[in-house]
Structure 1
Amino acid sequence: MTTSSFDRHAAWSHRLGAQYDGRGTNFALFSDHAERVELCLFDGETERRLDLPEMQGGIWFGYLPDVHPGQRYGYRVHGPYDPASGHRFNPNKLLIDPYARQLDGSVTHDPAIFGYEMESGDDTTFDTRDSAPFVPKGYVTDPSYDWDEDKVLRHRWRDSVFYEAHVRGMTMQRPDVPEDLRGTFAGLAQQPVIDHLRRIGVTALELLPVHTFLQDDYLLEKGLTNYWGYNTLNFFAPERRYLKSGEWGEIKDMVRRYHDADIEVILDVVYNHTAEGSELGPTLSFRGIDNLSYYLHGEDARHCYDTTGCGNTVNVAHPMVLRMVLDSLRHWVQEMHVDGFRFDLASTLGREATGFEREGSFFAAIRQDPVLSSIKLIAEPWDIGDGGYQVGGFPWPFREWNDKFRDDVRGFWRRGGGLKGALAERLCGSPVQFDHSNRPASSSINFVAAHDGFTLWDVVSYNEKHNEANGEDNRDGHDHNLSDNMGVEGAAEDADITAARLRRARAMLSTLMLSRGVPMLLGGDEVGNSQGGNNNAYCQDNEIGWIDWDTGHDLSGTVADLAELRRRIPALRETRFDSDTCVTRWFGPDGADMEDGDWDDDSDPVVMCHEAEGQAVLIVVNGGDDAELVLHEEGYTLDFVSEPETATLDGTALSMGWQTVAVLSKAIEERTDPDDLEETDPEEDAA
């Protein structure tokens, strides 16, 4: 425990958080409406309180010369307790520094963590119990790390293949990862895991949230946990359960290992809300520091304005809150070397006073930032508020999760009928959504399965969701799964049904990997992983939510072949929509151009002819039964079939098996428009 006083001449306000400089630590906290801020230093259970001596522009700060890495700390913030005016200051509550780089301990669900008398249910009451024993403490960290020559990677979007996974779920059942490392960043960094991703052509690992998050009391009471982590408690500190060593350097080790393998690391981040919930939630950090600044409120300042379904909405329109988000993003890029972010419920981040605004302050701040504008930025383009569905509505350089791709591909392959035209749009990069505002075709992040919903294997194995293990009588999770069990609900002993499921899964993976845009695989889909029909496994930190690497339904060879095909044929990675130098044509099974009436029957094969990069590539999609086709011209080579040995090519005669995808190609003289000779790849500057 330090015994020194603040050095007022060494203090600074321009960097928030606990900043160690090799001699001491500067502490700085933003609270525009506070009247006094106490820094609380902990040595075991002993607490020492020191008033931060300086305040400028709402930033309270002070420098302690002999505070070193490892010092545990928190804050108590004094001010009015006036819920009707939006103020909820209560110095009896120990508060987590929003900028804490690491946290020690976890939240204990006790009535003392609430700013009001929780038992009464009346948030206008004032609670006098001390919450310090029940709240994690921040601790001062040493930022030094030997990165050697490592730097953030810059894979072109056109060359990218994403793989969405969970830190724990990825390795908990991998026999080639040491048991004591499973479920941690150290386990994720093991060579067999990296080798597997390289073998199937992955260029970017996208991790579900790794920021410190809260375990919900109601889940713990049911013997469940917040597995996915979409309930952030702090935007800088990593989730301690994922650290085998307990130190944040373990993440840096993992990132460096992936960079050595030429694989980017992308983080799923949740800046739209926090774990403090509604006005009836606990006071753990932001609410007690400055509730009126950090959260959005309606006309009634007592209540939170909620567009997320999680009780509150972070007020990114406030300049200091926006700064916190940007500082957090830069921290993970500059300190941790991650390569990009996927923004959960990103429509919330674009909300201004008039609603969603694609030119709003959040997007403008990121687009002009010299660090953040050059990394990979991905939006989940929706929230639950009015006008929240914004697929195609985000500004460049953001890319977007495209749920229209998921729904149309699933619907087509289950023979839903009338979806051939919709499938053609998805193969072309969803131009209705993205061919505007000079956006490239790689604006669409294509997927057929993600963490939220059925896995790919469950899409072909279940007609209905089976979420009974979640303890909500199967009421949770959506019912719009666009799935087909192909004759038996769940696991099937019939070899023909299993073969049919594998066939359809290969066709869906082929559609994903061959469409314009950026393909994203759900971790485990390449090995036929199932969640037993659970389409909302957010609380299943167990065999339901973890990847089963020994299913007997291995599809990784197909994924690897498709990834190699994308690398080998540049036209499959085209980022331009149709132009004078990039042309798409459509043919029916007779080799004639498709006409309006030909799009109605999904059972007839359709041929997409894409000419670019000096190649003509045919993508032949047969959603129906065995078929005989006539190609529109000769000279093509059969490069890939989703169901090997079920297709043959003789001149222009192509024979295809049922529910299969084929790729054919040949070299052509590339089309050139003299007016386009000076144009560059639309991704050139963003690469």
Structure 2
Amino acid sequence: MTEPRPAFTPDRVSHLELKPGRFWPMGATPDAHGVNFAVFSANATKIEVCLFTDDGRTELTRIALHERDGDVWHGHISGIGPGTRYGLRAHGPYEPENGHRFNPNKLLIDPYARRIDGKLRWSKALNGYHVGSPMGDLSFSTRDSAFAMPKCVVVGDDGFDWKGDRPPNIAGPDTLIYEAHVKGLTAMHPQIDPSKRGTFLGLASDPMIAHLKSLGVTAVELLPVHSFVDDRFLVERGLRNYWGYNTIGFFAPEARYLDRGEISEFKEMVRRLHAAGIEVILDVVYNHTAEGDGFGPTLSFRGLDNASYYRLAPEKRHYINDCGTGNALDLSHPAVLRLVMDSLRYWVEEFHVDGFRFDLAAALTRGPHGFDSGFLDAVRQDPVLARVKLIAEPWDVGPGGYRLGQFPHPFREWNDRYRDDVRAFWRGDDHMLPGIAKALLGSPEIFDNGRRPATASINLVTSHDGFTLADLVSYREKHNEANGEGNRDGHAANFSDNLGIEGPTSDPVIRAARGRRQRAALATLFFSQGIPMLLAGDEIGSSQRGNNNAYAQDNETGWVDWKHADEGLLSFTRRLSALRQRYKVLSQRNFLHSRPRPTDGLPDLEWWHPEGRAPTDADWHNHVQAIGAIVRASAETIRDSGDEEVFALFNAGPAREVILPPGTWIRVLDSANPDAPEKPVAETYKAAEQAVLLFAHPET
């Protein structure tokens, strides 16, 4: 971004003028005469704005905001404008035992900063207490932290030309989500300009858009892009916080993904993706911040008003840790809820994003008396957020935090029950027929309430958190040694199998078996009701070498491996996506309950035993490893849905003969023979082991 102003130098300080200003909007807002600052703190005794030289190294002046409306401190400083580097300092009681941790020696990031410049330099000076003191966090540090802190930057109107950009507004049944990391997706892509790899512009490059389009992707769900910091313990090990779940700025795009350092690059990415018909969904972390527990650094919220921003234990000194990260934001506080809502609206209005995936969303609904609906109600009534997609990760690590199926419309939810049951079925676990049947229907036992659609279920077999698809069939145990935590981190229950040998192998039998299982799992994902989510790299067989928690692997372990892409698997995935689009009954808005349709009296769903009959109660409870389904348009579909029907068979066991339902069928897909063309079939069909079959009637 071009900064239309002279450099800010010491000689200009005397020309600055402070006026009362306004208590809105929050943060630093430039106008023709200067910048208005508005900062929330209910318990501070004084708030100062600290202005720095353009390189952020020298603090030139501190200006106290004398005006206060309610709990918002404000003032207008003339003589500065866009591009000005600044930070905040907050005065008040340092009484951790009462929940207060004010320390004016610590430079603070404005929670509403639109741009954050520079890297955090880990130093003991960042802590509000004296590190090493026998009093611990009850001691008080007098060291100034400004030298170690990134600086906030005043942002004005960049004049970005959206060129008539409009949101794609993809309907739920037509949605295919592609979960990706901005850097990991593009860092090793051979066709992307090396200077753009790892950036927003690289993600929006022609080769990447072409790849996404070829897969039928309608939405990219990006791992956190809000400004975040690398944890100290990772830096000391020579690692980084790769995933980005360590947010410190809810309004600022993460600088490491910028090519030229201009936040307009994010807008350019969105505009290019929208032009290709692809939505942008952000994985957002409003449940906690990068400040950790009481022994963590004082970077922003803790120093501005610890008792307001965070959920504290009854004795006030310690933090409630329902997120497993040391702290949890208190969204039951009006100012904190406002911060989150302002952030969401900002990304929709300023950056045109199309939706959000809320990390540990259960934590956002916690209050002093348990779970409440304040956050959910605020989001659901907001007119700006009315059109965007809202996705909840419906759990946290606190008591009673598993809340799958309990988020109201229009929230959709990550369905880990689907993930585990699909994995267990294809691994050959006993008695998985009921589980796979529910999964194929979009888990109606969980989501068919409150008039929620079948697309409430976000179906996933893999995600960033866990094994990749290739590793799911190549490793029985996690191998996270590179994370430096003694392989104690990451989930132990992966429902995975190595099919004979742990890790890579040249054995053709094992490699073939792994390929069959990968294709079967992908076919299950694409042929299930609900919204499928594909993990970036699974379509080409990318591996993390058995690491199921690559949060710190900002290297070839965590990046998508384009060099060794499985072109056959890629072609197969494209075919699955095309079939899902071709046969609309595979992706419906309404649930299927085997009810008769008013148009023809036929049930919208019929389960089919491979022996050519309806399954009995005994079949459902015995160790049957194959099940078929005749799928038609839902009985609840109002419009005339025609007579389209498909028959899908899922065989997790050995090869077997299958008697097809009555009628004339063509084999559309056999996952065990992925290159086979479509062809008419007889009354029976030999289903290979570990295979998904799709049949349809000849097109008239």
Q: Normalising TM by the smaller chain, what interval?
A: over 0.9
The answer as to whether partners of 2:542 and 2:565 remain within 8 angstroms in 1 is no
| CA distance in 2 between partners of 1:438 and 1:204 (Å) | 24
- Runs (5+) with no aligned partner, structure 1: 670-687
Bigger shift: 110-119 or 363-372? 110-119
Deviations 1:497-534 (A, max 9, x none): 11211111000000001100000011000000000001
Give the structure 1 partner of residue 294 of structure 2: 279
Task: Determine if contact 2:648/2:694 at 8 Å carries over to the other structure.
Answer: yes
1:30 to 34, 40, 44: 40
The C-alpha deviation readout for 1:616-662, integer Å capped at 9, x for no partner, is 22111111122222222112332222233399753432232221111
1:653 alignment partner in structure 2: 684
The DSSP-based 3-state class of the residue aligned with 2:346 is helix
- Is 1:8 aligned to residue 37 of structure 2? no
4+ residue runs over 6 A deviation: none
Contact map agreement 1:634 1:651 (CA 8 A) in 2: no
Q: Distance in 2 between the 1:654 and 1:648 partners? A: 12
Rounded to whole Å, the distance in 2 between the matches of 1:474 and 1:298 is: 31
> Counterpart in 2 of 1:211?
226
- 1:444-500 Cα offsets, whole Å, 9 max, x none, are 000111111100000111111111111122121121111111111111111221121
Q: What is the Cα deviation at residue 73 of structure 1?
A: 0.4
Instruction: Give the Cα–Cα distance (whole angstroms) in 2 for the partners of residues 157 and 261 of structure 1.
Output: 18
Matched AA of 2:100? H
Distance 2:217 2:509 in 1: 31
Return the alpha-carbon distance in structure 1 between the equivalents of residues 682 and 204 of structure 2.
Answer: 49
| d(CA) in 2 for partners of 1:167, 1:124 | 40
Query: What RMSD in Å do the two structures reach over aligned CA positions?
Result: 1.7
**Residue 78 (structure 1) aligned to one of 91, 94, 102:** 91
1:225 corresponds to which letter in structure 2?
Answer: R
2:618 equivalent in structure 1: 597
Which amino acid letter does the alignment assign opposite residue 642 of structure 1? S
Which deviates further from its counterpart, 551-560 or 23-32?
551-560
Of 649, 656, 667, which residue of structure 2 is paired with 1:620? 649
Write the distance in 2 (CA, Å) between the matches of 1:288 and 1:346. Answer: 25
Does residue 1:231 correspond to 2:239, yes or no?
A: no
The aligned counterpart of 1:288 is: 303
Equivalent of residue 560 in structure 1, options 574, 587, 599: 574
1:494 aligns with 2:515: no
Secondary structure in structure 2 of the residue aligned to 1:322:
helix
Q: Does the aligned pair in 2 maintain the 1:603–1:622 contact within 8 Å?
A: no
Q: 1:565, 1:493 → 2: CA distance?
A: 32
Q: How many residues in Structure 1 have an aligned counterpart in Structure 2?
A: 666
- Distance in 1 between residues matched to 2:41 and 2:668, nearest whole Å: 62
- Contact kept, 8 Å, 1:77 with 1:90, in 2: the verdict is yes
- What is residue 520 of structure 1 aligned with on the other side? 533
Alignment of 1:91-102 (within 5 A): 91-102=104-115
1:152 is displaced (CA, Å) by 2.9
- Identify the range of structure 1 (339-348 vs 220-229) with the bigger mean alpha-carbon deviation: 220-229
- Letter in structure 2 aligned against 1:213: F
Q: Paired residue for 2:605, among 577, 581, 584?
A: 584
SS in 1 for 2:251: coil
Which of 469, 474, 484 in structure 2 is aligned with 1:471?
Answer: 484
Identity %: 50
Mapping for residues 375-454 of structure 1, pairs under 5 Å: 375-454=388-467
Asked whether the 8 Å contact 1:95–1:284 carries over to 2, the reply is: yes
Cα offset, 1:598, TM superposition: 1.4
Q: Which runs of 5+ in 2 are unaligned?
A: 1-7, 598-602, 634-640
Give yes or no for contact 2:667–2:681 (8 Å, CA) kept in 1.
no
SS of the residue corresponding to residue 331 of structure 2 reads coil
Q: TM-score, normalised by structure 1?
A: 0.94
Give the Cα–Cα distance (whole angstroms) in 2 for the partners of residues 505 and 626 of structure 1. 17
In 2, are the aligned partners of 1:649 and 1:655 still within 8 Å (CA)? Answer: no
Report the Cα offset of residue 47 of structure 1: 2.2
Structure-2 residue corresponding to 1:682: none
Is the 1:391–1:402 contact (alpha carbons within 8 Å) kept by the matching residues of 2? yes
CA distance in 2, matches of 1:552, 1:188: 18
CA contact (8 A) 2:666 2:698 kept: no
Greater shift, 527-536 or 105-114, is seen at 105-114
Distance in 1, matches of 2:103 and 2:400, equals 36
Say which SS state the counterpart of residue 381 (structure 1) adopts. coil
Q: How far off its partner does 1:602 sit?
A: 5.1
The answer to whether 1:573 aligns with 2:587 is yes
- Corresponding residue for residue 178 of structure 1: 193
Measure how far apart 1:667 and its partner are. 8.6
Q: Post-superposition shift, 1:432?
A: 1.2
C-alpha spacing 1:320/1:604, structure 2 compared with 1 (3 Å): closer
CA distance in 2, matches of 1:17, 1:161: 36
Aligned to 1:677: none
Distance in structure 2 (CA, Å) of the matches to 1:398 and 1:477: 27
TM-score, length of structure 2 as denominator length: 0.93
Contact 1:108 1:135 in 2 (8 A): yes
Rounded to whole Å, the distance in 1 between the matches of 2:251 and 2:138 is 31
Q: Give 1:410 shift.
A: 0.7
Q: Which residue type is aligned with residue 627 of structure 2?
A: V
Matched to 1:97, the amino acid is D
Counterpart among 41, 52, 64 of residue 42 in structure 1: 52
Q: Is the 8 A contact 1:163 1:206 kept in 2?
A: yes
Give the alignment of 1:327-366 within 5 angstroms.
Answer: 327-357=342-372, 360-366=373-379
Q: State the alpha-carbon separation in 1 of the partners of residues 369 and 64 from structure 2.
A: 40
**Separation in 1, partners of 2:205, 2:565:** 23
Corresponding position of 2:3: none
Partner residue of 2:275? 260
Shift of 1:64: 2.1
Query: For structure 1, which segment, 82-91 or 609-618, has the greater mean C-alpha deviation from structure 2 after superposition?
Result: 609-618
- Give the drift of 1:553: 2.7
With 638-647 and 537-546 compared, the bigger mean Cα shift is at 638-647
Give per-residue Cα distances to partners, 1:374-426, cap 9 Å, x unaligned. Answer: 20100111111011001111111000000111111111111112101110000
Aligned match of 2:4: none
- Greater shift in the superposed pair: 261-270 or 653-662: 653-662
Secondary structure in structure 1 of the residue aligned to 2:512? helix
The one of 533, 544, 547 equivalent to 1:531 is 544
The partner residue of 2:207 within 188, 192, 209 is 192
Output the CA distance in 2 between the equivalents of 1:377 and 1:597. 40
